[in-house]
């Protein structure tokens, strides 16, 4: 991925003491006491902040938090997150109770070189989500440069991800750059064969994803609840399984389209079935064309795991979105665990580039103990999925215009 300026360009072009705004994703989950429950997003921001600090900039952090929809909502203030960031950076982090106007300007100009200030939730202003031109200009007002390090917010054309780039020299942050490079290696210019896993509950939420991937990958592994709909579309009785009967024709179209495009679709040849989705079940393993009518498919079976691992063995690159079964309740996590661990081993052996993300995928791969051994796991959710769907991301496009 090329066409954007990096932090190295920023430091070459901008003198110490300049006020630099960085768009981050500080939308982290908080507990009842205001403590951060999962600091992954803060951790990923640290490399950019350290680089800006070393260069001696006065750093303002822009972010949304929750969905206040243009109103000031005290429970959605970024003040507690500023505190958590201060602990992680090992330096005082100031907080300004507004992201524009005199409040923001005076807080930023009062910073020492290398100082950091979190500006209040951009979504307290209606102009943020409207990508309003006047609000974008106000955000840019007191700064000399803008860095976007929030890939997870890049699918939204908002003032702090998009409009602001009209008014300031714009650069790509370190985490954003790592994400774009991983995505480029996975789908932009991948080493082939390229295999994708698409799992999860429903086809209806992943139609664009299946369409785009079937045009680009060599093998498409379909698992989870959505595989049931494909099996039903092939004429198999899937018993009590989750199945979208309204999607049977769509499933057939996806399979026909994949065939004309030379993409092999791999459906689970066997399944772990049980009478209900509940803890304490002892599943029965059956062939996918022999599911008893009083049972439901809750995971891929052991033969399917062997076939999926073999597909990984013949791949150079793997893209993964969605679990292969109802992984939240053991033992229906087995196929996801075993195949994810296999992909992780091949990645560590240096024979596979593995990139995963979106929805429950991070939780499923971490549950398998495999996430840390993938080449790259995106925590971006919606932005990762939209990118996999082949949609342009306004926040990324705005970086590339520069
Ligand atoms: P998604 O958010 O679309 O990636 O879907 C993830 C959800 O799909 C998880 O909560 C899984 O429990 C669920 N899931 C996966 N396989 C099945 C299945 N065979 N039957 C019911 N739910 C499933």
CA of 299 relative to ligand 1 center, distance in Å: 9
Active-site residue flag, 41: yes
Q: Which of 5, 23, 41, 58 is catalytic?
A: 41
Band (33; pLDDT cuts 50, 70, 90)? confident
- Number of residues that make up the chain: 402
pLDDT > 70? residue 223:
yes
Q: Do domains 7-177 and 190-388 have the same CATH topology?
A: yes
Task: Give the ligand 1 atom nearest the CA of 228.
Answer: 19
What DSSP line would sit under 376-402, residue for residue? EEE--THHHHHHHTTPPPHHHHHHHT-
Distance of CA 171 to the CA centre of its chain: 21
**Residue of minimum CA distance from atom 18 in ligand 1:** 225
Which residues, including other chains, have CB under 8 Å from residue 265's CB and lie 6 or more apart?
214, 219, 220, 222, 230, 254, 255, 258, 259
278-309 residue pLDDT tens: 998 999 999 999 999 999 999 999 999 999 99
CA of 300 relative to ligand 1 center, distance in Å: 12
Best CA proximity match to 22, nearest among 87, 93, 75:
93
- DSSP class of residue 320 equals E
Residue 284's SS3 state is strand
CATH number, domain 7-177: 3.40.50.1260
Distances in Å between the Cα of 24 and the Cα atoms of 81, 91, 197, 258, 267 are 12, 18, 29, 38, 39
Topology given in CATH for the domain delimited by 190-388: Rossmann fold (3.40.50)
Domain ranges of the chain: 7-177, 190-388
pLDDT mean over 53-74: 97
Active-site residue flag, 37: no
- C-alpha 291/C-alpha 287 separation (Å) is 7
pLDDT > 90? residue 122:
yes
- C-alpha 199/C-alpha 246 separation (Å) is 19
Q: Determine if ligand 1 sits within 6 Å of the CB of residue 201.
A: yes
CA of 205 relative to ligand 1 center, distance in Å: 12
pLDDT score, position 322? 95
Joined tokens for residue 286: 């059956």
CA of 383 relative to ligand 1 center, distance in Å: 20
Q: Determine if ligand 1 sits within 6 Å of the CB of residue 114.
A: no
Q: Which of 53, 83, 202, 264 is catalytic?
A: 202
pLDDT score, position 359? 79
CA of 9 relative to ligand 1 center, distance in Å: 44
**Residue of minimum CA distance from atom 1 in ligand 1:** 200
- C-alpha 118/C-alpha 98 separation (Å) is 9
Distance of CA 208 to the CA centre of its chain: 16
Band (401; pLDDT cuts 50, 70, 90)? low
Best CA proximity match to 299, nearest among 375, 227, 221, 229:
227
304-336 residue pLDDT tens: 999 999 999 999 999 999 999 999 999 999 999
C-beta contacts of 44-50 below 8 A and 24+ residues apart:
44/175, 44/379, 45/85, 45/149, 45/173, 45/175, 46/88, 46/89, 47/174, 47/175, 48/7, 48/22, 48/147, 48/149, 48/173, 48/174, 48/175, 49/22, 49/89, 49/116, 50/89
- C-alpha 62/C-alpha 121 separation (Å) is 7
pLDDT > 90? residue 2:
no
The answer to whether the peptide bond before residue 331 is cis (omega within 30 degrees of 0) is: yes
Active-site residue flag, 401: no
pTM of the model: 0.91
């Amino acid at each position: 991925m090329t066409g954007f300026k990096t932090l190295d360009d920023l430091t070459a072009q901008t003198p110490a003491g300049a006020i630099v705004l960085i768009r981050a994703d500080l939308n982290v989950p908080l507990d009842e006491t205001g403590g951060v429950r999962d600091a992954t997003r803060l951790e990923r921001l640290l490399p950019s902040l350290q680089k800006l600090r070393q260069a001696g900039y006065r750093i303002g952090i822009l972010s949304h938090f929750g969905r206040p929809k243009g109103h000031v909502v005290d429970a959605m203030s970024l003040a507690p997150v500023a505190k958590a960031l201060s602990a992680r950076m090992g330096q005082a982090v100031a907080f300004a109770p507004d992201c524009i106007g005199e409040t923001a300007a005076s807080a930023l100009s009062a910073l020492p070189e290398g100082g950091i200030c979190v500006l209040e939730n951009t979504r307290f202003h209606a102009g943020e989500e409207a990508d309003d031109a006047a609000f974008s200009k106000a955000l840019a007002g007191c700064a000399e440069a803008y860095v976007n390090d929030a890939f997870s917010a890049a699918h939204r054309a908002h003032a702090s991800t998009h409009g602001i780039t009209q008014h300031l020299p714009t650069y790509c942050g370190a985490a954003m750059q790592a994400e774009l490079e991983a995505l480029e290696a996975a789908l932009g210019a991948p080493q082939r064969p390229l295999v994708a896993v698409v799992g999860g509950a429903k086809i209806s939420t992943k139609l664009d994803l299946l369409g785009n991937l079937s045009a680009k990958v060599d093998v498409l592994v379909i698992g989870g609840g959505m595989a049931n709909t494909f099996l039903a579309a092939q004429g198999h009785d899937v018993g009590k399984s989750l199945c979208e009967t309204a999607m049977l024709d769509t499933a057939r179209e996806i399979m026909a389209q994949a065939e004309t495009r030379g993409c092999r679709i791999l459906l689970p040849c066997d399944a772990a079935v049980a009478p209900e989705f509940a803890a304490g079940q002892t599943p029965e393993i059956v062939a996918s064309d022999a599911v008893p009518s009083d049972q439901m498919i809750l995971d891929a079976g052991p033969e399917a795991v062997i076939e999926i691992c073999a597909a990984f063995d013949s791949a150079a690159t793997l893209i993964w979105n969605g679990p292969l079964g109802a992984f939240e309740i053991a033992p229906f996590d087995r196929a996801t665990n075993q195949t994810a661990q296999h992909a992780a081993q091949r990645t560590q052996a240096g024979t596979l580039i593995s990139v995963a993300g979106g929805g429950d995928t991070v939780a499923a791969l971490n549950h398998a103990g495999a996430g840390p051994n993938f080449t790259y796991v995106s925590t971006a959710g919606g932005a990762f999925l939209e990118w996999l769907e082949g949609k342009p991301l306004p926040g990324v496009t705005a970086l590339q215009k520069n």
